[in-house]
Amino acid sequence: MIGSSPLTDNVDFIKMAEDNGAGAVSVKLTMLVQPIPGLRKMYAERGYYNFNPSDKRNYFEEGLELVRKAREATDFVLWTNIAGPGEDTDGWIKLGKAMEQAGADALELNFNCPNMGTTPEGGVVVGSGVGKNTELCYLVTNEVKKAVNIPVYPKVTCDVPDVVAVFKAVERAGADGIVVNAGYTGAPPIDIYNGGKIKIRGLEKCSYGGAVGHMNKPYSNRFVGLCAQNTGLTIAGGGGIQTWSDAVESIMFGSTHTTVCSVIMTEGFGYLRNLNDGLERFMDENGYAGLADMRGLALNYICETRELHQFNIKAPPSFDHEKCVGCGSCEKIGSCGAIEIKGKKAFLISEEACQRCSLCAALCPKGAISFTGGQGI
């Protein structure tokens, strides 16, 4: 599924998503009130992260027209991302009902945008400003859900002290599902050789803003896992999905749908075919008949920190010298003095010095190091 973004801000792009194998799109954000002017500015380091301090947002009539035209042009599954004015539930309901009538298949309630909060004058709360108020998340979700007949998916911010409380609140409010990913506010890219000036072309100064992309994958997987462990919600999980294997990870942590955005921004809609082909190939090769067969599998191996000692590796590492090429990746580990390269092969020279941390196995490029019980990499 393509997340709400510049990728879903016109009908031609939406049709390109459909033609290249997306399962759905979330149409670009529509608002009743825009307390902060939208300005589309973006920066990316391919394969690592995308940064945008601000983005264009659609006003009410503009967003409605986009959904109407998209509905006329395709039978594709259309979610639509909406943001009402804070506690004004009537405003949220007005948006939701209008989008339902325009042809949206589901509503995505924007509780997460890091570039929107409270205006400096203390005005309307939107985006992550809503998402950081658990009671407000409940109120808006509950009121919108009662007012419409299509599914309601809050898209929550995870940049809160107790994200599980937010998950549980929207579940109690009657949400049909939830959109979960890590989208933190980050610092803009700077040029260290030019006095710390902003790297984004066309901006003399820049605010902090949304930092997304592959770097967020471990955090997004954690949040998806926490949601799956603590609620019964359908989860649209994303944030950091760059490859088909990243999508598999999200599903194994509990996602029902996976959302992509940053990688399509840099690689184009055709990249969707790589994601789908890789996912299908993986499932065929590993005997998964459907996504449900692998959903949540990783959670079988998640424990509390206090339980880690029960699963600690007791034996030292073993080395497969047929695979080992003597590259020295294990020997140079700064926190270890237990391994030495002799005759272009790695050897354990001190069991006492080995801390069983398994970092050597993780760093070995040839998979030549393992630990008892098949826990090596």
The pLDDT tens digits of the residues spanning 57-69 come to: 999 999 999 999 9
Closest CA to 272 of 282, 283, 260: 260
Closest CA to 152 of 221, 115, 97, 228: 97
**In which band, very low, low, confident or very high, does the pLDDT at 375 lie, cut at 50, 70 and 90?**
very low
Q: Do 6-301 and 311-370 have matching folds?
A: no
Encode pLDDT of 290-307 as tens digits. 999 999 999 999 999 999
Encode pLDDT of 323-349 as tens digits. 999 999 999 999 999 999 999 999 999
Note whether 34 and 57 are within 8 A (CB): yes
Domain residue extents for the chain: 6-301, 311-370
**In which band, very low, low, confident or very high, does the pLDDT at 120 lie, cut at 50, 70 and 90?**
very low
| DSSP string over 237-296 | EESS--SHHHHHHHHHTT-SEEEB-HHHHHH-TTHHHHHHHHHHHHHHHHT-SSGGGTTT
Q: What's the fold here for domain 6-301?
A: TIM Barrel (3.20.20)
- Measured between alpha carbons, how far is 130 from 83 in angstroms, rounded to an integer? 9
Note whether 260 and 213 are within 8 A (CB): no
**In which band, very low, low, confident or very high, does the pLDDT at 123 lie, cut at 50, 70 and 90?**
low
Q: Which CATH number fits domain 311-370: 3.40.190.10, 3.90.180.10, 3.30.70.20, 3.30.450.40?
A: 3.30.70.20
